[in-house]
Structure 1
Amino acid sequence: MFFVGYTRAAKLSTNHGRTCSSFRVNSPQFSRSELADAFAKFEATVDAAAQSHDWDAWVQHYTPDVVYIEHAAGTMHGRDEVREWIGRTMGSFPGSHMVAFPSLWSVIDEPTGRVIMQLDNPMRDPGDGTVIGETNISIITYAGDGLWRQQEDIYNPLRFVQATLKWCRKAAELGTLDEDGARFLEQYGGAQ
């Protein structure tokens, strides 16, 4: 399956004089400053949504026909599918216990109109100040006018399960494990 903005090429193609992959990226040119400004707004929107738990503004910073690739959940097409997925994900454990999604580093790839970043996904304090979370790589593709047309989240789901189990065990040890965490621990962690 091919996604918006990609065309299959028979052999390695180049993008502005450099080899990028077996797919040619059809991207209008955006200035580095426009990409940086749009990414700063993206980060502020993510932060506000993480604090308020209102993910609609986050969904609105994508184009109406966004393609969102989430390796464990599949590929979503359009804002409505993304809105349904993020509401379900962040409204249930362990997403409901993640408190922020700051980028640890980012790279602006001006020729392709992309920003590649490593995002942290820390869970709330289990009661003693311990910070437990896991990271992922996200690639967002800019569409112009402050909107993003594609996002792909790349991560190892097993590492997220391990981090969540570590959080559950710490919360259980501290007497702060809630029912959702206890169910997760029972289902995925067994007795340890």
Structure 2
Amino acid sequence: MTGNTFTRDELIQAFAGFEQTVDRAAHTRDWDPWVDQYTDDVLYIEHAAGTMRGHDEVRPWIWDTMETFPGSYMTSFPSRWKVYDEASGRVICELDNPMRDPGDGTIISATNISIVTYAGDGKWCRQEDVYNPLRFVAATLKWCKKAQELGTLPDVAAEWMAKVAR
């Protein structure tokens, strides 16, 4: 709990800004503005990567994650649905993680639940990403096999597939 109460309108507006920043980062591949929307002491819980505190831990993680395959082939992170909890200052949403078109228009993705806690003034003080990592591995393998079938599998994906499919 943040100890603050935010209006629904304030949460909706703040989260719209959050989504715009994430969308811009996905398109420009510049992850710094994404990190900068968190408070300096942000608590980021990522079930596969662990718990990170502050920009100094979150920033290198997001850059590495999103600029290394398969994250580097994810094109956007739209929310499929969201719930606003004014009393806790939280937004809970399901985020989609679609990968690039492998060459035939196929969309392959996996989803996660994110719980973000608003701190006020356009900043977020906590995020928790909840998902099954095996679903992301399965989606990525499916993408790799489709790209391989189409003759569009990049070397970085082939190397990833060789490691994971052992």
TM range, smaller chain:
over 0.9
Distance between the aligned counterparts of 1:188 and 1:124, measured in 2? 20
Higher strand share: 1
TM-superposed deviation, 1:27: 2.2
Alignment correspondent of 1:40: 16
Alignment correspondent of 2:130: 154
Could you say what secondary structure the match of 2:149 adopts?
helix
Alignment correspondent of 1:144: 120
TM-superposed deviation, 1:80: 1.5
Letter in 2 for 1:95: G
Distance between the aligned counterparts of 2:81 and 2:51, measured in 1? 25
What's the TM-score, normalizing by structure 2?
0.98
Aligned pairs for 1:84-99 within 5 A: 84-99=60-75
4+ runs of 1 displaced by more than 3 Å? Answer: none
- State, as a whole percentage, how many aligned pairs show the same letter: 64
Deviation sequence 1:135-157 (CA, Å, 0-9, x none): 00000000000000000000000
TM-superposed deviation, 1:187: 1.3
Letter in 1 for 2:3: S
Distance between the aligned counterparts of 1:26 and 1:33, measured in 2? 17
Alignment correspondent of 1:167: 143
- 2:149 corresponds to 1:178: no
Deviation sequence 1:130-178 (CA, Å, 0-9, x none): 0001000000000000000000000000010000000000000000000
Alignment correspondent of 1:107: 83
Give ranges in structure 1 of 5+ residues lacking alignment: 1-24
Match of 1:123 among 95, 99, 114: 99
TM-superposed deviation, 1:189: 2.3
Structure possessing the higher relative contact order (Cα contacts under 8 Å, 6 or more residues apart): 2
Over 3 Å counting, the alpha-carbon distance change for 1:26 and 1:148 in structure 2 is closer
Distance between the aligned counterparts of 2:13 and 2:144, measured in 1? 38
TM-superposed deviation, 1:26: 4.4
Alignment correspondent of 1:22: none
Give ranges in structure 2 of 5+ residues lacking alignment: none
